[in-house]
Amino acid sequence: MEKNILIDFIKKHKHSYIIGLLFMFLSSYVQTLFPKVLGNNVDILKIKGFQGDRVYSNIGYILLIAAGTFAFTYIWRNLVIGNARKLECHLREILFDHFQILTPEFYSKRKTGDLIAYAINDINAVRQTLGPALSMAINGIVVCVISIYSMSRAVNWQLTLLSLLPVPVMVYIMIYIGGLVKKRFKRVQETFAAISDRVNENINGMRVIKAYVQEDKEVEKFEKLNNQMVETNLNMIHVSAFLAPLIEICFTVSFVFNLIWGGNMVLKGSISLGDFIAFNGYLTMILAPVLSIGQVTTIFQRGMASFNRLNEILCVKPQVKNDGTICDLPKALIKINNLSFTYPGAKKESLRNINLTIPKGHTLGIIGKTGSGKSTLIHLLLKLYNVENNCIYYGDADINKFKLEAIKNGIGLVPQDNFLFHASISDNIRFFKDIYTEEAVEEAARNSCIYENIIDLPDQFNTILGERGVNISGGQKQRISIARALVRNPDILVLDDALSAVDTVTESRILNNLRRLRRNKTTIIVASRISAVMQADEILVLDKGEIKERGTHTQLIKKGGIYNEIYQYQFGTGNFGTDS
């Protein structure tokens, strides 16, 4: 994680931090007054004759100390711990924003469960480190310093030194065990990510699991992961559990030294009984902070492990360059010159020597076998991957001169994966934007031929869809996705195999609506069925990343090449070759 994120947050909330730390110091100081007042009261009670006024005064001081400790602690916890919660929210927003700008290449290498773990467990661990753990550490240090000073100055420095002999041992134990906890907590987080990913896959793929009767197998896999989670947690607990008992043993030694040496000093009259009781009060007061510092060490090491994991993600830079300055995509032709492309990490080119001009207002059809490069070409037009200079032009400007936002805002895409949100149909069509009226949403639904299906539902456009649209058919998902693109009315519309799940009659109706709506606007239709591209102004036939044929439907049929083979296979008795 970039340090300036935390620095900027602290600067923004510096006043509340300063006030919170001030009250934290006051709270710690007030707590350390209690042993001395108690010791004085004991010495007063030893004096012959009951001195009620002094006793009652000390009791009043004790009550005042308790009230002051309560008030000051309440204030600093609200400020410091409250800021930690705000930091947690701030970090989660930064992480989510970062996820939005990362490219498809990043998500192709990462599991969903792992990314969820970053947003939940890791950020929570950082919050605990910079909130409760940091507060306990500062409070503990202040209490220890003031207590040790009071023990040595107000009672006896030699007794103080003897009682604190085990402290170096405690420090070594905390550092050593803290390092082990950090390593093992990282493994805990990785196992949690694996479980999250498994649960996510099973929920999303539940229909497939049930269709193939794989419930028992999936349960076995989950039990294995769950047992690994238990094992990694226990491995961490086996180490961290040593910390508190070892610290208590060290303090027991301190108390033994104190009782032997201090008791003799009381008997010899070197110190008073009240001073001895005050000394033990200070020593007891030190015990709690040191124990909490031990706990802080464990939390801190967990937080550092999560901090490093978050740092790895937040330091990932988007692979797609966004150096352009042009903010608006022009309503002009699209030109492609000698475009070749190889996916990162791949050895074989996905596209080779693509040359193409799409005049403004034309409809381009793209067809080809699976793996021929159809979707790759669309991805490059949307600049989802880096494009070499002088290969793709919008109007007279190179694609790399445009801001990514300009390209995304100027092009409406209906992708192959029709993702729908767990929200109402209306919200899915308008994509949660209030700029579209209900009339515009309904018109988009009519043009995508989904309107009749929607009004037959009990809640019509307010019907809540299941996650990823699980409660509607594939064809209905596609038509809602088309409506989502149509309501934007973009200058360039791309349908990436977006009609594959609808029947031919509905497909024909949608295409007729598109021809009517898209006059003077550019439309690109990628399809597997010839029926989807027959009326296009120009049709490209891609094969193994190259344009093998181009022309209108009639021209390509007469040519008798790949396009004609596909046509005969889909509409006649021909035998089309296998996918490449």
CATH number at residue 428: 3.40.50.300
Q: Can you tell me which residue has the tokens 């497909």?
A: 507
Q: Considering the domain boundaries, does residue 397 fall inside one?
A: yes
| pLDDT recorded at residue 41 | 65
Domain count, the chain: 2
Same domain, 348 and 253: no
* Residues 455 and 549 occupy one common structural domain: yes
Q: Assess whether 347 and 285 both reside in one domain.
A: no
357 and 253 both lie in a single domain: no
- The answer to whether 579 and 371 have CB atoms below 8 angstroms apart is yes
Name the DSSP class of 468. Answer: G
Q: Where do runs of H (alpha helix) occur along 241-272?
A: 243-268
Cβ pair 119, 95 in contact under 8 A: yes
Token duo for residue 213: 């009767």
Q: Confirm whether 474 is domain-assigned.
A: yes
Residue 500 lies in a domain: yes
Residue at which a domain ends, from 253, 283, 314: 314
Between CA 276 and CA 279 the distance in angstroms is 5
Q: End of a domain among 259, 283, 314? A: 314
CA dist., res. 30 & res. 28, Å (int)? 6
- Residues 161, 297: one domain? yes
Q: Alpha-carbon distance 231 to 228, whole Å?
A: 5
pTM: 0.66
Residues 296 and 343 grouped into a single domain: no
| 466: nearest Cα among 431, 423, 429, 432 | 423
Flag whether 118 is in a domain.
yes
pLDDT (0 to 100) of residue 155: 61
Number of residues in the chain: 580
Q: CA 170 → CA 151, 251, 252, 478, distances in Å?
A: 19, 9, 12, 65
Beta-carbon contacts of residue 333 (< 8 Å; ≥ 6 apart): 357, 358, 359, 360, 395
Tokens of 310: 């978050």
List the pLDDT tens digit at each of the 580 positions of the chain.
455 777 778 888 888 888 888 888 888 788 777 777 776 666 666 664 555 666 677 678 778 888 888 888 888 888 888 888 888 888 888 888 888 777 777 777 777 767 777 777 788 888 888 888 888 888 778 877 877 777 677 666 666 676 677 777 777 777 777 777 777 877 887 787 777 777 777 766 776 776 667 777 878 888 888 888 888 888 888 777 777 777 777 777 777 776 777 677 767 766 677 777 777 777 777 777 776 766 777 787 777 778 777 887 888 787 778 777 888 888 778 888 888 888 877 788 888 888 888 888 888 999 888 878 888 888 888 888 888 888 888 888 888 888 888 888 888 888 877 777 778 888 888 877 778 888 888 888 888 888 888 888 888 888 887 666 666 777 788 888 888 888 888 888 888 888 877 788 888 888 888 888 888 888 888 888 888 888 888 888 888 888 888 888 888 888 888 888 888 887 775 554 444 3
Domain end, chosen from 281, 314, 347, is at 314
Domain hosting 497: range is: 334-571
Instruction: Clarify whether residues 364 and 478 are in a common domain.
Output: yes
Q: For residue 386, give Cα distances in angstroms to 103, 104, 403, 546.
A: 10, 11, 13, 19
Based on the domain organization, do 539 and 454 belong to the same domain?
Answer: yes
Distance between CA atoms of residues 350 and 340, nearest Å: 8
Identify whether residues 375 and 448 lie together within a single domain: yes
Flag whether 382 is in a domain.
yes
CB 90 within 8 A of CB 13: no
Please compute Rg for the chain using Cα positions: 36
Residue 393: inside a domain: yes
Q: What is the per-residue pLDDT for 467? A: 66
Asked whether residue 384 is domain-assigned, the answer is: yes
pLDDT at site 124: 84
CA distance 377 to 355: 11
The two three-digit tokens of residue 376, written as one number:
């790759």
The pLDDT assigned to 576 comes to 47
- Indicate whether 408 and 509 sit together in one domain: yes
Regarding whether 303 and 346 lie in a shared domain, the answer is no
Whether 509 maps to a domain, the answer reads yes
CATH of the domain at 135: 1.20.1560.10
Same domain, 340 and 292: no
